[in-house]
Amino acid sequence: MDTSQYMSMFLEESMDNLQILNDSLLELEQNPEDVDKLNEIFRVAHTLKGMAATMGFSKIAELTHKMEDVLTEFRDGELKVTQKVVTILFKCLDTLEQMINNIAEETEEDTPIDEIMEDLENLTDGNVEEEEEEKEEEPLPVQNQNLEVQEIQLNEYDINVIKQAKDRNFNAFKIHVFLNENTLLKSARAFLIFKDLEDWGEIIKSIPATEDIENENFDLTISLVYLTEKSKDEVYNVVMNISEVDKVIVDEVKFDTNEKNNMNSDDKTNTKAEEKDKNTEKDKVEKQPKKKNVTKRKKSSSESGNHHKKAHQSVRVDLERLDKFMNMVSELVIHRTRLEQISQNHKLLELNETLEQIARTTSDLQDLVMKIRMLPLEVVFNRFPRMIRDLSVELGKDMELIIKGQETELDRTVIDEIGEPLIHLLRNAADHGVESTEKRIKKGKDPVGKIKLIAYQEGTKAVIKVSDDGGGIDPQVIKEKAESLGIKTEGMNDSDLRNLIFEQGFSTNKEVTDVSGRGVGMDVVKTKITTLGGTVDLVSEIDKGTSFIIRLPLTLQIIQALLVKVGTETMAISLGYIDRVIDYEEKLIKKTNNKEVILYGDTVIPLIRANEKLGIETDEDSKKYIIIVRVGEKTVGLLVDSLLGQQEIVIKPLGKTLQGLKEYIGATILGGLVTLILDVAALV
């Protein structure tokens, strides 16, 4: 066993605990008298300190300990929960996050903690540390004294081994270890106890069994039989020096002839077999590496009978393995499609039934792997309340963030990328959108500005709305700015003018601020969302507020697509964009402002000839079709030469050589041939 196997668990648990502390501090700031919330913060901070100490990260443990001093004063009523105090604690959490990130990235960079330690010290009176140790450390052993000590039954073989050890001047002890009730990584703690003891002797028996310890299938007590040349006091000190050990009882092993009679029936049954191999087993105890002897020990029936804990209902899976699993399922879909084409071409009817079963199985497998890859948006959203709180302090505005739909799930790839655009939008809402308190009061608005972050699923897409109840975007201001930059605004309506803010380097802000930057944010937002196969739309009304509506595909790997012909080339279009398909008729097409449009129902829709956009020659006499596609708020007709049917396809990236082709989001393999997938959003 090696501590490195606990590293990923430590990193994940630490980041989760920091997020809990962030959220809880925000709530405590709003409700300073909430004792339950304060106790929760204290408990999580104590857990974080213990985990860091377990893994040997002393600076993290030291900083968390100092933070506990401040929390102790909160709890004792010696310190009030104020904005200044909470801001310092947030700064402490940011420092801890940086230190944990450095550990995760294996960087040598040393995060300075002197300044934040001094800030925390200034909040306390200097004697808090000793008081806190008395308050935190002393009562805990009392809580654990009531825990049942598991008496170790010695069988005849154990007794013989102990007697032989004593003949060679070894001491034999029964050790009962009581762990702190807040210990999170019990298995790692037990490993440290075993490791330190085995540096000076041999553990010949343990309750619970080693298998249970490795699986954390035990309570807070560990009982051991230990052979060593060390004294009783030395053994006691070795174990007590391990962090999060509350209490240790060390007794010398004493036995007489009655000990044998106390053995349970299972021990008596096994004694003859153990006697038979006694010499062999004794050699193993002396010659084998000590750790191996412990880990290979089997549970006795008496031990295993005491533990019937429920097995873990979830497992941690490395993301790289998950991606490989996804790729393998994708390959399976490609081969299934190829088999179906071969069967149709050669009219192999006897294959149809088997292929249908394969199709059902691969579809189920694909659906399963999709769900495994899905993560709730909560993992992105949970960082934003703290961000808006900090911006509220920095900008001197009263603001409230309302979050809904954080349980909406998206593919992990999308989740990883969506955080940055949302940060831009929220910071802009706080800086540009929400007015100052004075202005809001003058307008008769609620003094507290509302910023909403709402998510929900809509068909095959996820919708995320970022809205504020601020001043809105004035199209005339946009128009003046655009004309000063040489952008033609003739013929643009208010919606078109507002959408100019997505142009590169376009900003209506007259001053450069730390919050909203230099106007490079909005074009980055649109580029990132387009890269993810999504769209972003803007709706704004003066003095009512502004909303940004993001639509994203639920997954980026396997999609349902319509196969079409453009000239002699086969192309794929995601069904997520397609509204309907209509037959092409010359009389449908009209011209306005030298641009082709079609009259569809009561609406006028712009027409895009796919062959002209893509530079592909086409047969003018062939029957054509118009695909009505929707990209956000825009509806466009896409003219293609023929339809080849619907197909489930796997998206493969184009690679570095072709990544500059903006008309395509990727390619797929159909019938052994590469088929390009059109990027409808880019065409529109």
Model confidence over 95-133: pLDDT tens digits?
888 888 888 887 766 777 878 888 877 776 543 333 333
Q: Which two tokens stand for residue 591?
A: 């011209």
Range of the domain at 247: 143-300
Q: What per-residue confidence (pLDDT) applies to 296?
A: 35
- Between 199 and 518, the higher pLDDT residue: 199
Collapsing DSSP to helix, strand or coil, 611 comes out as helix
187 pLDDT more than 60: yes
Interval 565-581 mean pLDDT? 86
Percent of the chain's residues with pLDDT above 70: 81
For the CA atoms of 295, 298, 303, 306, the dihedral, rounded to the nearest 10 degrees, stands at 80
Q: Which two tokens stand for residue 179?
A: 């762990």
Indicate whether this model's pTM tops 0.85. Answer: no
140 pLDDT more than 60: no
Same-domain check for residues 147 and 115:
no
Residue written as token pair 């149709």: 344
660 pLDDT more than 80: no
Overall number of domains in the chain: 5
pLDDT band per the 50, 70, 90 thresholds, residue 557: low
Collapsing DSSP to helix, strand or coil, 334 comes out as helix
- Is the separation of the CB atoms in 102 and 13 below 8 Å? no
- Between 260 and 438, the higher pLDDT residue: 438
21 pLDDT more than 50: yes
Same-domain check for residues 521 and 608:
no
User: Alpha carbon 264 to chain centroid distance?
Assistant: 49
Same-domain check for residues 84 and 214:
no
Find all residues with CB under 8 Å of 578, minimum gap 6, and list them. 562, 627, 628, 629
Interval 401-428 mean pLDDT? 88
Same-domain check for residues 533 and 571:
no
Considering 330, 357, 375, which residue would you say is the last residue of a domain?
375
pLDDT band per the 50, 70, 90 thresholds, residue 632: low
Rounded CA-CA distance 294/1 in Å is 11
pLDDT band per the 50, 70, 90 thresholds, residue 548: very high
- Exposed (0-12), middle (13-18) or buried (19+): which is 471, by Cβ within 10 Å? buried
Same-domain check for residues 332 and 406:
no
Q: Please state, in angstroms and as integers, the Cα–Cα distance from residue 173 to each residue in 159, 162, 228, 255, 306, following that order.
A: 12, 10, 8, 12, 23
What CATH number is given to the structural domain containing 596?
2.40.50.180
Q: What per-residue confidence (pLDDT) applies to 150?
A: 59
Mean pLDDT of the chain: 77
Residue 208: asked if its preceding bond is cis (omega within 30°), the reply is: yes
581 pLDDT more than 80: yes
Give the H or E element holding residue 580: strand 578-583
Half-sphere exposure at residue 107, Cβ-oriented, CA atoms within 13 angstroms: 9
Interval 602-611 mean pLDDT? 85
Same-domain check for residues 455 and 441:
yes
33 pLDDT more than 90: no
What CATH number is given to the structural domain containing 506?
3.30.565.10
Same-domain check for residues 280 and 293:
yes
Q: Helix %, strand %, coil % for the chain, to 5?
A: 50, 25, 30
pLDDT band per the 50, 70, 90 thresholds, residue 136: very low
* Residues belonging to the active site: 46, 68, 428
pLDDT per position as a tens digit, 476-509: 888 888 888 778 777 788 888 888 888 776 765 5
Q: Which two tokens stand for residue 446?
A: 């609620």
Q: Please state, in angstroms and as integers, the Cα–Cα distance from residue 620 to each residue in 54, 627, 641, following that order.
A: 75, 17, 9
